[in-house]
Amino acid sequence: MDFLSRFVDTLPQAFSALWEFIDGFYGVMVAIVSAAIVAGFALLALRLRDGHEWLSAIFGVLGGFVAFWWLFGMLPSAWLYFADSNRDLLEGTLMPGPLPYMDNAYEVFRDVVVVAETGLAIMVFIALASWIQKHYPRGLAEDEEKTPATGGYK
């Protein structure tokens, strides 16, 4: 029960440290603007899909690039820097401290968070790509005919 009370008592300090780490409103605004950029590129890709396929593809890739940059670069790196710079606050309260036969439990937990976030992001991108392929299949041009399947190499 003592662990739970220390966990709850440490939460305000951890949120304060996080707020300071992201530089307050500046960090929040950067995240909001980045999300707006991704949404804008996605909407442009959707809007230009029927008449300008190449532009649609370019805007879709740009939106995906910004999302990849955040999910596979910025967030894992920021988590590692935050966890390392606030180890005294987090270790033993919000994150595990040394355990029997495992002196580096803090580093293991810190790295498992990065692996879990990356795995979740990969699954989300695969699901999103599958959903896009299913709901927005490529259509044939007006004068193009569907060719029979070749059946593979012979």
| Predicted confidence (pLDDT) at residue 152 exceeds the cutoff of 60 | no
| Predicted confidence (pLDDT) at residue 111 exceeds the cutoff of 90 | yes
User: Percentage of residues in the chain with pLDDT exceeding 70?
Assistant: 92
The H-or-E segment that residue 56 falls in is helix 53-69
Using one digit for the tens of pLDDT, what is the confidence trace for 84-93? 998 888 888 8
Phi first, then psi: give them for residue 99, nearest 5 degrees. Answer: -115, 160
Contacts 24+ apart (CB under 8 A), 49-55: 49/136
| Predicted confidence (pLDDT) at residue 40 exceeds the cutoff of 90 | yes
Which pLDDT band, with edges at 50, 70 and 90, does 1 fall under? Answer: low
Using one digit for the tens of pLDDT, what is the confidence trace for 67-105? 999 999 999 999 999 999 988 888 888 887 778 888 888
